[in-house]
């Protein structure tokens, strides 16, 4: 099957994926709930575009903003 489009955080929620965030600086990995993140975006009026979401995230461990996002399967 072809790849699903995951341009928006709401696309992750719709497909039932969570958001996996990898820190490039310290290799810490976190999995965020895509539905909660989508809710947060709508409550705060934030963009749901992944590039904008990614720009807002930072590593909880080392504080780096050099993070990479992707879908988490299970
Ligand atoms: Zn880190």
**Strand 67-72's sheet: what is its strand order?**
29-32, 18-23, 67-72
For the chain, the average pLDDT equals 94
Mean pLDDT value across residues 24-30: 97
Return the SS3 of 8. Answer: strand
Whole-number Å distance, alpha carbon 21 to ligand 1 midpoint, is 10
pLDDT in tens, 29-61: 999 999 999 999 999 999 999 999 999 999 999
Of 5 and 10, more confident: 10
Whole-number Å distance, alpha carbon 23 to ligand 1 midpoint, is 5
Whole-number Å distance, alpha carbon 32 to ligand 1 midpoint, is 15
List the one residue out of 61, 63, 42 whose CA is nearest residue 53. 42
Whole-number Å distance, alpha carbon 22 to ligand 1 midpoint, is 8
Whole-number Å distance, alpha carbon 67 to ligand 1 midpoint, is 8
Cβ atoms within 10 Å of 9's Cβ, excluding its own: 28
User: Beta 29-32 vs 67-72: how paired, if at all?
Assistant: unpaired
């Amino acid at each position: 099957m072809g790849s699903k489009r995951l341009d928006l955080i709401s696309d992750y929620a719709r497909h039932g994926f969570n958001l996996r965030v990898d820190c490039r600086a310290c290799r810490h990995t976190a999995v965020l709930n895509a539905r909660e993140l989508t809710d947060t975006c709508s409550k705060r009026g934030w963009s749901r575009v992944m590039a904008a979401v990614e720009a807002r995230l930072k590593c909880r461990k080392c504080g780096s903003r050099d993070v990479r996002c992707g879908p988490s399967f299970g």
